[in-house]
Structure 1
Amino acid sequence: MTTLYATLGVESDATLDEIKRAYRRAAMKWHPDRNPGREAEAHAAFQEIRDAYAILSDTGQRRIYDEVFEQEMRRWQAEHAAQEEQERAAQREAQRVAQEHYEKMVAVAMRFADDGHNRDVLFGVLLGHDCEAELAARIADSVWALQESRRAHAQAAQAPEPDAAAEEPAAAAAPHADDARQTNRHPGAFESFWQGLFGIRT
């Protein structure tokens, strides 16, 4: 907001002498006779300078101007703050709506992905739900990649573990002759039971 002080190039607490010196400098700079080819612009600026000096050089008018300007400034600041708050509220509401839309689109894509549909189908479904193309592509790519990762993880978890005994050489798996004879010398629990019960010896 331009003030009369700014027009003369002084601060709001400038003394009368400072205002007079500033007026003389500004008047010489913007006098129409000193600005050939820019007479219209110079005349308008020169008139503003004269009006500003007429008010600020008069103690009573300056006091009234300061009071009115202060009141107007407070009103302007209040309006400006209210406008900014409205803009922030509108931005928050827009973000909330966008977030809800995004979450809805992700849920739609997840549902179709769970049914086994591929990425292109997800993309087409999202477009059919009024999803912007760039956002639909990002969601379809992300959901499809997630589903593929889940499937790969599930398949790895269901795969049987390799049998360590089956990987050993056949010769190592087969009992040696000495082991067989030792087995014969040490009957198992079932054989020991029959031997004890009937006195059968092998």
Structure 2
Amino acid sequence: MVTLYEALGVREDASDDEIKRAYRKAAMRAHPDRNKGREAAAHDAFQEIKQAYAILSDGEQRRVYDAVFAQEMSRLRDDEERQARERAECEAQAQRERYEKFVAIAMRYAERGYKRDVVFGVLLGRGCDEALAARIAHGVAALSASRASAPPAGNMSKGRREPDASAESAAPTAPPQTAEAEPASHAGLFSTLWHGMFGIRP
């Protein structure tokens, strides 16, 4: 949007003399007689310059214009700031959702026994940024290692029969599943990972 001041080529705090001199220069430059071959465009520009000068050369009209212009500029700035905040919030929300999705994927693969490098490769294959994939894979691997080294809950209970190791080793191992659904039994691990490793809430 071109302001009246811009139409004359002067600053908003220009004096009356500066406005008058700028009007004469702009009018001569845009006069149709000086713009052969583009008379129609020159005529429109010339009319805009005349209108700008008619308002800015009148003290009362200029004060009204300045007040309305300042109010409109303030509204536009507020709108731009609001739109910028909304865009930033949308972008942040999208980043959080992508982050949470990649963490969930990494956890599923780690819980199935896959090591850090495999988890890292899976994340890259899903479109995760390399640096972020490395951080998530490292965090999941560290958490899995800490869980593996912790004593299982309930091992100190009296009278509880330990499982037969030979029978356990003879049991067939189910192949890793590819389903995307997260097992409900991993909810505690999922929450621990979010709070302890990544600092966000699931």
Q: Same fold (TM over 0.5)?
A: yes
TM-score range, shorter chain: 0.5 to 0.7
The aligned counterpart of 2:8 is 8
Structure-2 change in CA distance of 1:59 and 1:115 (3 Å): closer
Cα offset for 1:37? Answer: 1.7
Structure-2 change in CA distance of 1:109 and 1:44 (3 Å): farther
Structure-2 change in CA distance of 1:75 and 1:88 (3 Å): same
Kindly indicate which of the two structures has a greater share of residues assigned to helix. 1
1:79-90 pair list within 5 angstroms: 79-90=79-90
Provide the rounded CA distance (Å) in 2 between the counterparts of 1:111 and 1:46. 75
Larger radius of gyration: 1
TM-score (norm 2): 0.58
Count of aligned residue pairs for this structure pair: 138
Deviation track 1:170-192 (CA, whole Å, cap 9, x = no partner) reads: xxxxxxxxxxxxxxxxxxxxxxx
The aligned counterpart of 1:67 is 67
TM-score (norm 1): 0.58
Q: Work out which structure has the larger RCO, using CA pairs closer than 8 Å and 6 or more positions apart in sequence.
A: 2
The aligned counterpart of 1:44 is 44
Structure-2 change in CA distance of 1:111 and 1:51 (3 Å): same
Deviation track 1:38-62 (CA, whole Å, cap 9, x = no partner) reads: 2222122111111100100111100
| Paired amino acid for 1:68 | V
The aligned counterpart of 2:165 is none
| Paired amino acid for 2:110 | M
1:168-187 pair list within 5 angstroms: none
User: Residue 37 of structure 1: SS of its match in structure 2?
Assistant: coil
User: Residue 100 of structure 2: SS of its match in structure 1?
Assistant: helix
The aligned counterpart of 1:29 is 29
1:3-152 pair list within 5 angstroms: 3-112=3-112, 114=113, 119=118, 123=122, 133-135=126-128
Cα offset for 1:84? Answer: 1.1
Deviation track 1:159-178 (CA, whole Å, cap 9, x = no partner) reads: xxxxxxxxxxxxxxxxxxxx
C-alpha RMSD of matched pairs (Å):
3.3
User: Residue 135 of structure 1: SS of its match in structure 2?
Assistant: coil
Cα offset for 1:105? Answer: 1.6
Cα offset for 1:74? Answer: 1.3
| Paired amino acid for 1:111 | E
